[in-house]
Amino acid sequence: MSGGLVVSVRVAILGGGPAGLGLARQILARDDAGEMEVEVFEANAEVGGLAASFALEGVVFDHGSHRLHPSIDPEILKVLNELLPGVLHRRPRHGRIVLGGRFIRFPLRPVDAALKLPWRIKCGLLRDMLVRPSRYDTDSFAATLEGQLGVTLCREFYFPMARKLWGREPIEIAAEQARRRVSVRSPWQIIRRMTRQLWNRGRAGASFYYPDGGFGRIAEALAKDFERRGGRLSVSSPVTGLQHRDPGWQIETGEGRHEFDRVFSTIPISRLVGLMEPVPPTEVAAATSALHSRAAVLVCVVLDSARWTPFDAHYVPDSAVGLSRTSEPTHYAAARSHSDRTGVCIEVPCDPGDATWQMSDDELVNQVGREVTRIGLPPLKPIRAAEVRRVPWVYPVYDHGYDKHLATVRSYLDQWPGLVTLGRQGLFAHDNTHHALAMAFAAADCLGSDGSWDAAGWAAANDRFADHVVED
């Protein structure tokens, strides 16, 4: 590091997404960071991970629909605003859900829902509000949600969407997935949220923060400030081996072996276990193999049109099509670089190696083109350019027994001194970016300038993380 300081603590961070870069930046932003050396290893050529952005024909795309939720910790938001002055804007949400073959505004609005929902859904919702079970089973995603919300919303939206996102029948999914992924607990809570919009259009769920130039600007700003403070960012540097060499760690990459005192990992937990040397015990390897994540194919098209629809996103539970969501990122930002074209990202959940994953790019573009018109959206044309991205780790699957498998893996990793996992992938968690940043800032607070670790503080932070619920 600069200034001729003697390095006393060397820290490695695996993964250059928001969690890894947020942690790296916060370590070096502290007043007592003078004798700490921090290096981030990112496998890709650009930072950001799932939260990265890329340009196609001058249109910026994200890897799916990404937003920064307004419930973000104010101190973290303050840091981001300092790093992105005049760039991070609060924007209104303006999406739609396909329910019963009709487009309904999302977030839900009372008048729109009353006028557009099919009568069978409205009658079903009324019945579910008036006839609530006094007790219900909580042994699965299906039983929990039906008990809380009633059968109508479950069968029209949550269950078909669950089949798409996680590739399982709702009864095969653990109840914890309902708690972590569905923020409402009753039909009346939905009604209250809808009603509040009549006089409070700026409420948290109806808006989001988004930076001009794409969601990836957040990770890029963290990376830039990290490097400005003396940190080392190694992109295109996948880690190929990880070995505990008392009292520290040895990391192997294509450039050789590197020695560190502490390692923080934000990469997928199953990949981390696969890097460990010596090979983990059989029961740990088996538990790791039993943890499943769903993948997604992202079909990104640039249209020679100022806009595709007036809406920023569409949520599609319809089982007749494979796509789950569309987003038009040019509607997310407050400013746009081109007025004569727009971009559309179509997300198709799948499994690595399945039929969807193996389709050619042209086949995928043609398939989603047919699907969007089938559900009543405008044709994807005229197409100026298209790019398909295949993302292997997107949705953690909480099937029955996942908690025991995860506990086995976590117990194995926790036994190693100086190794900490965090972030969505590192904790096998359903989290938003503001949750990942909260983990990063908490981890930085637990790391002493002498390399010591506040285990009790981190345990308390993990208890808070367990209460995170995804904000859609």
- Give the model's pLDDT for residue 467: 85
Q: Is 2-52+213-290+401-465 in CATH node 3.40.50.1820?
A: no
d(CA 99, CA 105): 10
Taking a C-beta distance cutoff of 8 angstroms, is the pair 48, 17 a contact?
yes
Full DSSP string of 328-394: -GGGTSSS-S-SS-EEEEEEEEE-TTSHHHHS-HHHHHHHHHHHHHHTTPPP--SEEEEEEEEEEEE
Which residue from 17, 32, 43 is spatially nearest to 220, judged by alpha carbons? 17
Examine the pLDDT at 5 and tell me if it is beyond 50.
no
Which residue bears the tokens 């968690």?
429
- Give the model's pLDDT for residue 2: 44
Q: Residue 308 carries which DSSP code?
A: S
Note the pLDDT tens digit of each residue in 401-411: 999 999 999 99
Residue 41 is inside which H or E element, if any?
A: strand 36-41
Asked whether the bond before 74 is cis by omega within 30 degrees of 0, the reply is no
Note the pLDDT tens digit of each residue in 442-452: 999 999 999 99
d(CA 246, CA 249): 7
Rounded mean pLDDT, 202-216: 83
Note the pLDDT tens digit of each residue in 219-231: 999 999 999 999 9
- Give the model's pLDDT for residue 109: 86
Percent of the residues in the chain that have a pLDDT greater than 90, as a whole number: 83
- Give the model's pLDDT for residue 200: 59
Full DSSP string of 205-263: GGEEEEETT-THHHHHHHHHHHHHTT-EEE-S----EEEEETTEEEEEETTEEEEESEE
Q: What angle do CA 274, 438, 445 make, to 5 degrees?
A: 90
Q: Which residue spans of the chain are classified as CATH 3.50.50.60?
A: 2-52+213-290+401-465
Q: Side chain identity at 25, as an amino acid letter?
A: R
Taking a C-beta distance cutoff of 8 angstroms, is the pair 2, 405 a contact?
no
Which residue from 226, 260, 255, 230 is spatially nearest to 243, judged by alpha carbons? 260
How many Cβ atoms from other residues are within 10 Å of residue 70's Cβ?
Answer: 17
Note the pLDDT tens digit of each residue in 58-117: 999 999 999 999 999 999 999 999 999 999 999 999 999 999 999 999 888 888 989 999
Rounded mean pLDDT, 239-259: 96
- Give the model's pLDDT for residue 213: 95
